[in-house]
Structure 1
Amino acid sequence: MQEDIQKLFDRMCDPKESEAYFFADKLGGVADEETKEKLLELVRGDNWELAYLACRSLSKTKFQEEGLDVIFETIFDKKNKTVQGAFVQILEHFDLSNRFVDVFKVFLFGNYKASTLAKVYLDEVEFDVTPRTIRKAEKHWNHYLHNPEDEGSVAVKKSEIEPMLQEMRELFS
């Protein structure tokens, strides 16, 4: 079995392989604990294209939650600022219902593409929201307000976020 898994890894990681997505999906279908660790190493690695394929593979496993932890770390890693959008895009293959705060942070602090994709998730995913979730989101919102990267975007984000937070607060009042 390990030989088959290694062959899938080799095919997925081959830069000349035109079917890399197919092999990533197939690898995800047979992933065990050892495979998961190798995939997580790829996600943390320096080759963002292999990291993307590893993310795709992780989305097909029973290790989605662990995969999401590492993917969000990767999104916020400064070295990936220019390719954040690709990592945010792959999130569509994961269950994000318990990840409101992480997606919210991407919306606030991500580059343009990452922020735009995160906004789509915020609008379309049905999140499990608790009062604690709202408090965490408000903490990040306040941090953003006091440390904006782009002064011009504050008004735009304010018009989107404040009604969202208010609506969520009303759910629990």
Structure 2
Amino acid sequence: MLLYQLVLVLAFDYDIQIMDIGAMIDKLSGDLGDKAYEVSDSLARIGTQEVLEAMIVLLKNANPESRYMAARTLGLMEDNEGGLAAVFEAIKDKENQNQVGELLSVLEGFDVSEYYVALFKLYLFGNFKVSMIAKDLLDHKDFDITHRVIKKATKHWNHYSNNVKHDELYELKKIEVEEIFDDLSDFLDDKQVM
């Protein structure tokens, strides 16, 4: 009998938690209150599949602040792998063009090892803020580098190179990109020797 009561109490607490999660998600939808960051932190700590799915839906909310809070929450979650593709979709979405830098910054909390080329493209073609955040991610995250990745990145560099003004900024970026490609090639050469 005692075990049965314990199960009922736990089930009751679980239902309350489910209701609380729904209420917390609602607080990130639409006009955000002054506790939005605390709610985001709490949802990230909860980190259930329900939270993950709700944040993916929230990435398409009409309110740009809600979209950012959804991305932020996903970035803080421990098991956030299922939300990475949705965050990248939000970054590419024209509706978010004014907040790409903010959305990109949450990628620090994700395993972006398969997204080298996408980040490299943002580094090349993004505005100053986006370019710097993408460069920081490229410099400090681990990536799965292959010859194909280098080939795709080179293709984007050639496209960029053929479509921008060749001024001092271009020359600086060219030096950076050449260093990046040299480092990647050296990495692959060292990897093959092992």
TM-score where L is the length of structure 1: 0.84
Q: 2:150 aligned with 1:134, yes or no?
A: yes
- Whether the aligned pair in 2 keeps the contact of 1:44 and 1:51 (CA below 8 Å) is yes
Counterpart pick for 1:23 among 36, 39, 59: 39
Residues 13-62 of structure 1 show CA distances to partners (whole Å, capped at 9, x for unaligned) of 36352121111121123243343222112213332211111111112335
The corresponding residue for 1:48 is: 64
Q: How many residues align?
A: 172
5 Å matches for 1:86-165?
A: 86-148=102-164, 151-152=166-167, 153-165=169-181
Change in CA separation of 1:100 and 1:16 when aligned onto 2, cut-off 3 Å = closer
**Cα distance in 2, alignment partners of residues 41 and 147 from structure 1:** 36
1:167 maps to: 183
Distance 1:80 1:16, change over 3 A: closer
Q: Which residue of 1 aligns with 2:91?
A: 75
Counterpart secondary structure, 1:13 = coil
Task: Decide which structure has the larger Cα Rg and report it.
Answer: 2
Q: 1:4 is matched with which residue?
A: 20
User: Is the Cα–Cα contact under 8 Å of residues 29 and 61 in structure 2 kept in the other structure?
Assistant: no
What 5-or-longer segments of structure 1 have no aligned partner?
none
Residue from 48, 60, 67 that aligns with 1:32? 48
Q: Using the alignment, how far apart are the partners of 1:130 and 1:72 within structure 2?
A: 21
Please give the per-residue CA displacement for 1:87-138, whole angstroms capped at 9, x wherever unaligned: 1122222233332222211101112111111112222223332222222212
Q: What is the alpha-carbon distance in structure 2 between the residues aligned to residue 30 and residue 125 of structure 1?
A: 25
Does the residue aligned with 1:164 lie in a helix, a strand or coil? helix
Please give the alpha-carbon distance, in whole angstroms, between the structure 2 residues aligned to 1:136 and 1:63. Answer: 29
Aligned-CA RMSD value: 2.2
* Distance (Å, rounded) in 2 between the aligned partners of 1:109 and 1:70: 21
CA contact (8 A) 1:81 1:111 kept: no
